[in-house]
């Protein structure tokens, strides 16, 4: 049985969150919102609890788990900071960035899959921070989705994946950012961006200097069951290509969902307006994918690109696409 607790993200009920913290202290699993996406947390010092995360997420055992921390003070107990890591932490914690540093023995090897380094983050979300504070331990916390599926930005997504499999789900409404944290490995010289995320690469470079972008994903990420086409190009030409692609797919009997600007231009089974505000695009991206996945066989997405948040959205679209089309 999974307990589902509704909590106001602006004014969290501490008594409700004490229940969640008690579950975590006893080795349970709890899903809760952060400012990026929902996370699935377990006491990072409890090896059995951490193993449960791998099991229920169906996460490969060679994919390390990031750790959420309640405050800066705890860092000295679990990892060693270098100069670059300190700069990032000073500038961006709490916030949507995960810093990879050398771990200390107190962190079990199961968390890091035997690696000598660990990713740490301090979330900027009242519910997450209060749970961390009340638990009084760092929490191993990947995104709260079955591995490979789109990340969860609403409690309904978590319930869909984990009801009956974990101990408690905290419903704190829709997350504010909607895409995951930027991940930077500060043990490398120059530091390496392993995942472009909510904090633009350009902002991190302004603090630490030279960076290398090496985005590597060993396993499929963000993948809905529907086949996904992403069309990049100038607006008018891209629209013509999306129309052509949609018409051909529907003639073959496929149900098609289109995500683009000016959806009145398209004849499809499902239409989703692509917002001009990149923050709204990021916030809605995974929800759109999960919703359309239940209704159509194919999703045709108008590509988003650019710097900053646009670059992070582009990265995810390219990762989830079965076919990328440039026109």
DSSP-assigned states of every residue in 169-219: EEE--S-SS-SPPEEEETTSSS-EEEE--SS-HHHHHHHH---EE----SS
Task: Calculate Rg over the CA atoms of the chain.
Answer: 20
pLDDT, one tens digit per residue, over 101-145 is 999 999 999 999 999 999 999 999 999 999 999 999 999 999 999
Q: Is 65's pLDDT higher than 80?
A: yes
Q: Residue 74 to residues 42, 46, 77, 132, 138: CA-CA distances in angstroms?
A: 16, 17, 6, 11, 8
Domains detected in the chain: 3-213 (3.90.870.10), 227-326 (3.40.50.11030)
What predicted TM-score, i.e. pTM, was given to this entire model? 0.95
Q: Which of 272, 275, 276 is nearest to 264 (CA)?
A: 272
Q: In the prediction, which pLDDT does 197 show?
A: 93
pLDDT, one tens digit per residue, over 298-319 is 999 999 988 889 999 999 999 9
DSSP-assigned states of every residue in 55-88: HHHT--TTSPPPEE-SSGGGHHHHEE--HHHHHH
> Mean pLDDT across the chain, nearest whole number?
95
Q: Which of 206, 187, 181 is nearest to 83 (CA)?
A: 187
pLDDT, one tens digit per residue, over 27-45 is 999 999 999 999 999 999 9
Q: In the prediction, which pLDDT does 118 show?
A: 98
Q: Cα 10 from chain centroid?
A: 21
Length of the chain in terms of residues written: 327
Token reading at 59: 């996460």
Between 259 and 215, residue with greater pLDDT: 259
Q: Is 5's pLDDT higher than 70?
A: yes
Give residue 74's pLDDT band: very low, low, confident or very high (50, 70, 90).
very high
| Coil vs helix vs strand at 30 | strand
- Backbone phi, then psi, for 179, in 5-degree steps? -125, 160
Q: In the prediction, which pLDDT does 290 show?
A: 95
C-alpha span between 34 and 158 (Å, rounded): 13
């Amino acid at each position: 049985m999974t307990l589902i607790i509704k909590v106001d993200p602006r004014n969290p009920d501490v008594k409700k969150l004490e229940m969640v913290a008690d579950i975590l202290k006893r080795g349970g699993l709890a899903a809760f919102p952060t400012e990026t996406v929902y996370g699935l947390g377990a006491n990072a010092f409890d090896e059995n609890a951490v193993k449960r995360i791998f099991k229920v997420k169906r996460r490969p055992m060679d994919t390390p788990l990031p750790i959420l921390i309640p405050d800066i003070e705890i860092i000295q107990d679990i990892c060693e900071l270098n100069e670059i890591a300190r700069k990032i932490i000073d500038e961006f914690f709490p916030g949507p960035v995960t810093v990879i540093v050398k771990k200390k023995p107190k962190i079990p090897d199961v968390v890091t899959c035997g690696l000598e380094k660990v990713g740490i983050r301090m979330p900027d979300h009242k519910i997450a921070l209060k749970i961390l504070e009340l638990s009084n331990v760092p929490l191993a916390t990947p995104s709260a989705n079955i591995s490979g599926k789109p990340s969860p930005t609403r409690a309904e997504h978590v319930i869909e994946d984990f009801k009956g499999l974990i101990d408690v789900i905290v419903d704190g409404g829709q997350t504010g950012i909607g895409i995951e944290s930027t991940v930077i490995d500060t043990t490398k010289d120059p530091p390496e961006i392993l995942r472009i995320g909510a904090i633009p690469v350009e902002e991190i470079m302004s603090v630490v200097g030279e960076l290398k972008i090496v985005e590597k994903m060993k396993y499929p990420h963000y993948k809905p069951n529907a086949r996904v086409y992403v069309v990049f190009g100038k607006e008018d030409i891209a629209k013509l290509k999306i129309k052509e692609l949609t018409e051909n797919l529907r003639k073959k009997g496929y149900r098609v969902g289109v995500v683009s600007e000016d959806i009145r231009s398209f004849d499809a089974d499902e239409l989703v307006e692509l917002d001009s505000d990149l923050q709204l695009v990021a916030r809605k991206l995974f929800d759109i994918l999960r919703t359309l996945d239940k209704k159509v066989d194919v999703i045709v997405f108008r590509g988003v690109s650019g710097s900053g948040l646009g670059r992070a959205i582009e990265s995810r679209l390219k990762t989830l696409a079965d076919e990328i089309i440039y026109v």
